[in-house]
Amino acid sequence: MLATHLTRGALGALGAGLVLLVLVVAPWADEASLLGVWETPEAKSNVEVYECGLALCGRLISLKEPLDDEGNEKLDRRNKDETMHARPIVGIELLTGFVADGPGTWSGGHIYNPEDGKTYKCKLTLQDDGTLKVRGFIGLSIFGQTQIWRRLR
């Protein structure tokens, strides 16, 4: 009787521990599915998504056309902050501050667009086909633009 009671107690504790493990690990497993390298539309660039503190961020790691018309490395010339005009576009952190807010969705972050030098609110959604829906917007999401990124690795 005592052995049965201890076994049931141990099984109950083990079950509770497994439930707790799933609750703690599940959000991180979801975030891990976004980590890696993504190709933007028309293969214009590649962005690496990585953990940055408790959030996810993304850095531009390559450009299809990395040189300007004069053959020089493309720089962040359209940035509103003139002190940033001399920084190379490759290496810029495009995505910042994303946190999981549901299965396959991340929000609370921003996306920087070096083509116009502006930063937008952004939402990321992992699609069933494995692509990433990137929605940048001003104010409300209905006032924005969507791109579909393809996972490279």
**In a shared domain, residues 20 and 92:** no
CA 82 vs CA 17, 69, 72: distances in Å: 53, 21, 19
Structural Rg of the chain based on CA atoms: 21
Residue 17 has pLDDT above 80, yes or no: no
Looking at the fold, whether 59 and 82 belong to one and the same domain comes out as yes
Same domain, 23 and 38: no
Residues 62 and 25 in one domain: no
**Domain region containing 18:** 1-32
Question: Does residue 86 share a domain with residue 55?
Answer: yes
Same domain, 97 and 146: yes
Q: Looking at the structure, do residues 52 and 94 belong to the same domain, yes or no?
A: yes
Chain centre distance of CA 97: 8
Structure tokens at 100: 């999981």
Residues 58, 131: one domain?
A: yes
pLDDT tens profile 27-68: 434 556 899 999 999 999 999 999 999 999 999 999 999 999
- Residue 72 CA to residue 37 CA, distance in Å, equals 25
Residues 78, 52, single domain; the answer is yes
Q: What residue type is 3 in one-letter code?
A: A
The model's pLDDT over 94-122, given as tens digits with 9 standing for 90+, comes to 999 999 999 999 999 999 999 999 999 99
Q: Could you tell me the CATH number of the domain that includes residue 70?
A: 2.40.128.520
Number of domains making up the chain: 2
